[in-house]
Amino acid sequence: MIPVLSRTQMRAFDAHAIQTSRVPSIVLMENAGRGAADVIERELLGGRAAGRRIVVVCGAGNNGGDGFVVARHLLARGAQVEAWLAGDLSKATPDCRANHDAFAGIGGKIASVPLGQSLHDLGDALAGADVVVDALFGTGLDRPIVEPLASVVRQMNEARLVGRHAGLAALDVPSGLHADTGVSLGTCIEADLTVSFAHLKLGHVTGHGAAMSGPVHVVDIGVPPALVAERSAELVEASDVRAVIHDRPIDTHKYRAGHVAIVAGSAGKVGAALLSARGALRGGAGAATIVTWPDAATTLEARIPEVMVARLTTETDREALESSIDDLLAHKRAVVIGPGFGTGDAARAVSQRILTSFGGAIVADADSFSMHAGSPEDFTVAGGRVVLTPHSGELGRLLGRTAAEVEADRFASASEAAKRAGAVVLLKGAYTVVASPDGRVVVTGSGSPALATAGSGDVLSGLVGALACSLPPFEAAWCGAFLHGVSGRAWQKEHGDRGLLAGEIADGLPAVLAALLADA
């Protein structure tokens, strides 16, 4: 897995390199800037900087120093480079000042951004550039960008849309993006690509952060990445999934593969149950049984021949209901509960019995979050066997806050819920966050916009249930999120980013798994 660091951890990484490894900070800056120049030349200039017009907008901090290094290297490669300083040179950091002087010393042109005055000249320079480089702020920004610098950011964004502009590159993180949460601090650079130094930052692996960053290229800064002792999260790679999912033994039978119960569906809402069951079977479960209310069961029995259907009792006696649930879940390896199931008293009783008595893995989705709204601690009775699969609105409901508050810090929200619920939390999104009660956090970035379709989450719940038949809950969650995303991305490659039906995500899983195992 690829380490993902917070800004505090990145500072510690730099400090270790400087103080313990004895690598001077200016050497780290030189390596970072040279690596960024390489990426910009390769990705935005077609591999040749000579003769191209570059404008680098620098702050007076170390991010500005990185920018001056980029400017110097591109100038040395034959580009026509202008650097604009948006700040007071007398207050620049020592490394920024040193690289400002080095760029000027080889003939580099440096202009001052007239903060608080007309930005007409800067606008003309930006509009005539092939590439604009954002080196205003680095990972340390923790407050909104206000005037007059907000106008500078807006001008840089506007330059993306005019003239012969080939791209806007951000250094480390786009200026205005919070490095830990991926939210915009007021106005924010909208980059065509971002060059991150040494490691990915948390803000890069959020939906909004990814939209602001564009493709993120990590460059080394001349010290081993393994120097990092702590990371906030890890980004899943295909090799990580291959390491835990293996070919089946030749003597596998359907019950050894795993029998998943889908406790889902109700009158008028049978589709969710069917999609979850389809996700389970396509994801490798040997058998799937939908356990549902009698009025929904009749409808379901005629729908998919591969899925069994079982009826919950309609008796109101609590002991009879619990006995019925226990009988229906006997010999099941995993249970998915929630999709289209309802939230009434009977549904709550079923949920409570499953949490307290079922001995296998439990995947809670959809209506489960309404049943337990404001009470994530309800899931602790299951003893760590639960995977919760909410989107931000559902997690907000569970935690008693808004979806916007969850999105304001997805990592903190998922980790809090995992600790309070004693469960694995899979927070769905463009970058899905999977948090464990013991503090582990992984992120999957395999998804695509095509997955924004009704029923997508139901398929995921079934897939995670299938994987939980043979994997621990945490691994089942992040493997399921990764495979679900790859299936959506494969469909998008063939058909575009819209029109995907949820059932097609499930149907794509066997090919995704086959390709993954073939590369093992």
Residues contacting residue 300 through CB under 8 Å, at least 6 positions apart: 265, 270, 273, 274, 290, 292, 307, 309
The rounded percent of the chain whose pLDDT value lies above 90 is 83
Q: What is the pLDDT of residues 354-395, one digit of tens each?
A: 999 999 999 999 999 999 999 999 999 999 999 999 999 999
Least confident window among 118-132, 245-259, 395-409: 245-259
Domain boundary among the residues 170, 201, 232 is at 232
Mean of pLDDT over the chain: 93
Return the H-helix or E-strand segment holding 504: helix 502-518
Q: What is the pTM of this model?
A: 0.92
Do 224 and 251 sit in the same domain of this protein?
no
Tell me the CATH number at 356.
3.40.1190.20
Q: What is the pLDDT of residues 193-212, one digit of tens each?
A: 999 999 999 999 999 999 99
Residue 318 pLDDT: 79
Residue 313 pLDDT: 83
Q: What are phi and psi of 170, to 5 degrees?
A: -105, 145
- Give all strands (DSSP E) within 23-137, no chain letters: 53-58, 80-85, 109-112, 131-135
What span, in angstroms and rounded, lies between the C-alpha atoms of 368 and 217? 39
Q: What is the pLDDT of residues 26-37, one digit of tens each?
A: 999 999 999 999
Residue 166 pLDDT: 74
Q: What is the pLDDT of residues 161-189, one digit of tens each?
A: 665 567 999 999 999 999 999 999 989 99
Tokens of 301: 């029995």
Q: Which residue has the higher pLDDT, 127 or 394?
A: 394
Q: Which residue has the higher pLDDT, 345 or 69?
A: 69
Do 10 and 85 sit in the same domain of this protein?
yes
Q: What is the pLDDT of residues 423-465, one digit of tens each?
A: 999 999 999 999 999 999 999 999 899 999 999 999 999 999 9
Do 56 and 192 sit in the same domain of this protein?
yes
- The residue-averaged pLDDT of 56-80 equals 97
Q: Would you place residue 2 in the very low, low, confident or very high pLDDT band (cuts 50, 70, 90)?
A: very high
Q: What is the pLDDT of residues 293-329, one digit of tens each?
A: 998 998 888 777 889 999 998 766 778 888 889 999 9
Least confident window among 252-256, 284-288, 375-379, 447-451: 252-256
Q: Which of 10, 131, 2, 16 is nearest to 62 (CA)?
A: 10
Tell me the CATH number at 208.
3.40.50.10260
Do 83 and 113 sit in the same domain of this protein?
yes
Do 287 and 215 sit in the same domain of this protein?
no
Tokens of 431: 């970058």
Q: Which residue has the higher pLDDT, 302 or 235?
A: 235
Q: Would you place residue 159 in the very low, low, confident or very high pLDDT band (cuts 50, 70, 90)?
A: confident
| Number of structural domains found in the chain | 2
Do 248 and 323 sit in the same domain of this protein?
yes
Do 217 and 244 sit in the same domain of this protein?
no
Do 368 and 406 sit in the same domain of this protein?
yes
Do 202 and 328 sit in the same domain of this protein?
no
Is 12 exposed, middle or buried, given 0-12, 13-18 or 19+ CB atoms closer than 10 A? middle
Strands 216-219 and 193-197: parallel
Q: Which of 432, 431, 423 is nearest to 378 (CA)?
A: 423
List the beta bridge partners of residue 308.
289
- The residue-averaged pLDDT of 212-232 equals 89
Q: Which residue has the higher pLDDT, 254 or 482?
A: 482
Do 330 and 476 sit in the same domain of this protein?
yes
Strands 287-292 and 308-311: parallel
Domain boundary among the residues 232, 263, 286 is at 232
Do 196 and 279 sit in the same domain of this protein?
no
Least confident window among 10-14, 96-100, 386-390: 10-14
Least confident window among 101-105, 245-249, 272-276, 375-379: 245-249
Is 510 exposed, middle or buried, given 0-12, 13-18 or 19+ CB atoms closer than 10 A? middle
Residue 165 pLDDT: 64
pLDDT at 260 over 80: yes
Do 119 and 85 sit in the same domain of this protein?
yes
Q: In which domain, by residue range, is 101 found? A: 2-232
Residue 507 pLDDT: 96
Q: Which of 447, 428, 458 is nearest to 488 (CA)?
A: 447
Residue 248 pLDDT: 84
Residue 332 pLDDT: 94
pLDDT at 520 over 70: no
Domain boundary among the residues 232, 247, 275 is at 232
Q: Which of 453, 445, 460, 463 is nearest to 496 (CA)?
A: 453
List the beta bridge partners of residue 309.
290
